[in-house]
């Protein structure tokens, strides 16, 4: 076994790899960008080496700098984690050429499975069933459109080098194909530097099931059973579990055996995941499951497999990379209980899941479940990287118990001022259809109204905020807005009225002694009272005097950026006439695109940005003049 390991990644996966390596007595080396100079993975490593500025393209995607850091620090091996360079065959070759150990599959296997079209052809040759679609070399708009028409809508456009939901679009009608193709290509080029795509038949009631495989350099290959990753939002996994609900022994044997055949077909070594799509319209059936792609790395959701099998998959990776045989044979591996994982994202469900960035002034996660995270209170969520800030994982004897425990863990998440999807996750895990195992990739989109309801503070929330305010938790700072006597009113019967503001709403909360304690957990941060309820945070401030007519927000004819990001497309120019819903500007942040559209029929009065501009949240992008207003 090698004695030192560099982890070419950041955040929770860097910490996860370090945890196992340090347990095995291996010296760990972290790399970091300027944005991560004070990150947890940097503090916890034995050695840390700076590799560049904050943008990933100037740091974590610079293979030569990572290899130089390994040589500088004396590392013998490099573990790529997931994302970034983990599936880059050229980087794997460069690591080996530098005399270092690559903790991953052979570069040839990465190439064979890295492009979705070539991988599907190879799997078909190996007898692995594949989804109907177009895998041709002709990438012209005309040929791709004709292929989609022939397959029949709906179809999926998928970047051949894609992953994580990037470079993927569902198209329901022929008229929408060309616009979706252009958007898909842009996102693929930005994320993978490759805009080639394939076309695939969209299964109307699909389930996403994947199999964890492992192989070594001695000819051994095994599977560690399946995971269900059907709960997705915009093709990005949100909740994963193992084993897959409703999986019978015959179907499990068929899908897992196919996964091992797939690994053997490319002479695989190390950890890999074979992803399948299943037609769930009549339950899971062996003849209705097709190969989609292979991820030649460790997956984000690997903890659920670890929990049900009792194995440390990172340790397996390190031992295989060191030339050792697999720790166990297929007959040694069994499933125990049910494990579930929820991905906690820094995003705001109420604004269409737009990314949320900023300082983590208050950050508390439950301590009685497994938590994999790369951030801590006092840290910051940056716009430069993926918005996932933690994974919550539970393991229970039954699926119902696992769902209940994970939902409760999500309800106890406390994060502010960054927004998260914790309450959304808790609702999904508590949904009767989820509990019954009726899952498919359309689960979330068809239930958004229930999963992201319009909410206002309940009586319990208001009472808790008022009690926290009255208890003087803010402190005695005379500069605090809470110190103003106008915030409290005492009447003759000793009732106390506490004035609170929740966003644009003002609430007068009447408390009658004895008040007791707050029914919900509260905290004080930066002059705000925070009330945490079911995974959500309600923020209260003291009311302030209004100047003039009052009212907030933006004029209806001004289009502002909902998040900090980069302008990647401008579809209009000054003087253009636009219809309601027409695309105006597309903003990219955290590798995801968000297209802003016209809220009404109008004329473009002014265009404030151009392609490649960097904008802040709230920046004015376009000014519109309504056609009716203009006519008058």
Q: What is the CATH number of the domain that holds 25?
A: 3.40.50.20
Whether 220 is covered by a domain: the verdict is no
279-295: average pLDDT: 89
Number of domains in the chain: 5
Residue 384's contacts (CB-CB under 8 Å, 6 or more residues apart) are 33, 35, 54, 55, 56
Location of structure tokens 């984000």: 300
Q: Mean pLDDT over all residues of the chain?
A: 89
* Residues contacting residue 549 through CB under 8 Å, at least 6 positions apart: none
Parallel, antiparallel or unpaired: strands 528-533 and 536-540: antiparallel
Does one domain contain both 25 and 75?
yes
Q: Clarify whether residues 417 and 477 are in a common domain.
A: no
- Residue 127 CB neighbours (<10 A): 10
Q: Are residues 377 and 422 in the same domain?
A: yes
- Asked, for residue 297, whether it belongs to a domain, the answer is no
- Tell me, what CATH number does 625's domain have? 2.40.50.100
Do residues 469 and 441 both lie within one domain?
A: no
* Domain identity same for 536 and 591: no
Q: Which residue reads 């409760």 in tokens?
A: 408
User: Residue 478: exposed, middle, or buried by beta-carbon count in 10 A (0-12, 13-18, 19+)?
Assistant: exposed
User: In this structure, are 357 and 450 located in the same domain?
Assistant: yes
Asked whether residue 95 falls in the same domain as residue 12, the answer is yes
Query: Is residue 547 situated within a structural domain?
Result: no
Is 370 in the same domain as 450? Answer: yes
CATH number at residue 450: 3.30.470.20
Tokens 């079209």, residue? 117
**Among residues 201, 222, 239, which one ends one of the domains?**
201
pLDDT, position 559? 87
Give the list of residues 6+ apart from residue 176 with CB closer than 8 angstroms, or none.
none
Cβ neighbours around 135 below 10 Å, total:
18
Q: What residues are annotated to the active site? A: 297
User: Higher pLDDT residue, 486 or 598?
Assistant: 598
Instruction: Indicate whether 116 belongs to any domain.
Output: no
Domain of residue 518: give its range.
459-540
**Which pLDDT score, from 0 to 100, does residue 295 have?**
93
Domain boundary residue, one of 103, 121, 155: 103
Q: Is the pLDDT of residue 488 over 60?
A: no
Does the structure show a pLDDT above 60 at 485? no
Verify that 382 and 435 share a domain, yes or no: yes
How far is Cα 183 from Cα 169, in angstroms, rounded to an integer? 8
Pair 81, 165 in one domain = no
Say whether pLDDT at 563 is over 80: no
Confidence category of residue 475, pLDDT binned at 50, 70, 90: very low
pLDDT for res 627 = 63
DSSP 26-43: -EEEEEEEGGGTT-HHHH
Lowest mean pLDDT among 272-276, 283-287, 397-401, 542-546: 542-546
pLDDT given for residue 480 in this prediction:
44
Q: Give dist(CA 125, CA 218) in Å, integer.
A: 24
In a domain, 59, yes or no: yes
Whether 481 maps to a domain, the answer reads: yes
* 494 — pLDDT class (breaks 50, 70, 90): low
Q: What is the CATH number for 188?
A: 3.30.1490.20
Q: What is the pLDDT of residue 590?
A: 64
Of 277, 304, 275, 245, which Cα lies nearest the Cα of 433?
A: 245
Residue 478 pLDDT more than 50?
Answer: no
The percentage of the chain sitting over the pLDDT mark of 70, rounded to a whole number, equals 92
Highest mean pLDDT among 298-312, 454-468, 612-626: 298-312
Query: CA geometry: angle at 260 spanning 259 and 262, to 5°?
Result: 65
315 in any annotated domain: no
Please identify, among 439, 454, 469, the residue that sits at the C-terminal boundary of a domain. Answer: 454
What's the average model confidence in pLDDT over 133-142?
A: 91
Q: Are residues 568 and 604 in the same domain?
A: yes
Of residues 517 and 24, more confidently modeled: 24
> Cα 47 to chain center, whole Å?
28
- Model confidence over 53-88: pLDDT tens digits? 999 999 999 999 999 999 999 999 999 999 999 999
Contact 156, 169 (CB under 8 A): yes
Same domain assignment for residues 98 and 176: no
- Asked if residue 511 is part of any domain, the answer here is yes
Query: In angstroms, rounded to a whole number, what is the distance separating the alpha carbons of residues 118 and 564?
Result: 37
Q: Nearest-5° angle of CA 460, CA 461, CA 466?
A: 100
């Amino acid at each position: 076994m090698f004695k030192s390991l560099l982890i070419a990644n950041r955040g929770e996966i860097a910490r996860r790899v370090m945890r196992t390596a340090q347990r095995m007595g291996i010296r760990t080396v972290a790399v970091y960008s300027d944005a991560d100079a004070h990150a947890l993975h940097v503090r916890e490593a034995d050695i840390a080496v700076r590799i560049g500025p904050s943008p990933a393209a100037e740091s974590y995607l610079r293979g030569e700098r990572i290899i130089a850091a390994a040589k500088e620090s004396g590392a013998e091996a490099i573990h790529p984690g997931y994302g970034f360079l983990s599936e880059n065959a050229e980087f794997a070759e460069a690591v080996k050429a530098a005399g270092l150990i690559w903790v991953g599959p052979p570069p040839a296997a990465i190439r064979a499975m890295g492009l979705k079209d070539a991988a599907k052809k190879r799997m078909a040759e190996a007898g692995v069933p594949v989804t109907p679609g177009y895998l041709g070399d002709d990438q012209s708009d005309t040929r791709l459109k004709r292929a989609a028409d022939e397959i029949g809508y709906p179809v999926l456009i998928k970047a051949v080098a894609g992953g994580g939901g990037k470079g993927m679009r569902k198209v329901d009608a022929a008229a929408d194909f060309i616009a979706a193709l252009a958007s898909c290509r842009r996102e693929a080029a930005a994320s993978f530097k490759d805009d080639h795509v394939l076309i695939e038949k969209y299964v109307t009631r699909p389930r996403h099931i994947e199999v964890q495989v492992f192989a070594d350099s001695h000819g051994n290959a095994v599977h560690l059973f399946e995971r269900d990753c059907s709960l997705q939002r915009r093709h990005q996994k949100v909740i994963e579990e193992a084993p897959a609900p409703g999986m019978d022994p015959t179907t499990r044997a068929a899908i897992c055996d196919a996964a091992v055949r797939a690994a053997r077909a490319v002479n695989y070594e190390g950890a890999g995941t074979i992803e399948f799509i299943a037609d769930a319209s009549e339950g899971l059936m062996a003849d209705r499951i097709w190969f989609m792609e292979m991820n030649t790395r460790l997956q984000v959701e690997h903890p659920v497999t670890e929990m049900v099998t009792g194995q440390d998959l990172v340790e397996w990776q390190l031992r295989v990379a060191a030339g050792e045989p697999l720790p166990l044979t297929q007959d040694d591996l069994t499933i125990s209980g049910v494990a579930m994982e929820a991905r906690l994202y820094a995003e705001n469900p109420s604004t269409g899941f737009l990314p949320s960035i900023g300082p983590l002034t208050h950050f508390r996660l439950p301590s009685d479940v497994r938590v994999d995270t790369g951030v801590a209170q006092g840290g910051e969520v940056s716009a430069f990287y993926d918005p996932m800030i933690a994974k919550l994982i539970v393991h229970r004897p039954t699926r119902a118990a696992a769902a209940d425990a994970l939902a409760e863990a999500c309800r106890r998440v406390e994060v502010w001022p960054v927004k998260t999807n914790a309450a959304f996750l808790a609702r999904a895990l508590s949904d009767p259809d989820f509990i019954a195992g009726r899952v498919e990739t359309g689960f979330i989109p068809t239930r958004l109204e229930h999963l992201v309801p319009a909410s206002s503070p309940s009586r319990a929330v208001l009472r808790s905020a008022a009690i926290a305010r009255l208890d003087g938790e803010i402190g005695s700072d005379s500069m605090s807005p809470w110190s103003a006597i106008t915030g409290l009113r005492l009447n003759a019967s000793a009732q106390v009225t506490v004035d609170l503001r929740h966003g644009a709403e003002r609430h007068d909360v009447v408390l009658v002694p004895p008040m007791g304690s707050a029914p919900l957990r509260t905290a004080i941060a930066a002059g705000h009272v925070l009330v945490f309820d079911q995974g959500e945070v309600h923020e209260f401030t003291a009311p302030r005097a209004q100047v003039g007519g009052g009212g907030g927000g933006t004029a209806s004819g001004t289009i502002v950026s909902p998040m900090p990001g980069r302008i990647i497309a401008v579809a209009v120019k000054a003087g253009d006439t636009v219809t309601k819903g027409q695309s105006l500007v597309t903003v990219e942040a955290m590798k995801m695109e968000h297209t802003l559209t016209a809220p009404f029929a109008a004329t473009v009065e002014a265009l404030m940005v151009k392609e490649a501009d960097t904008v802040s949240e709230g920046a004015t992008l376009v000014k519109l003049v309504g056609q009716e207003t203009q006519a008058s």
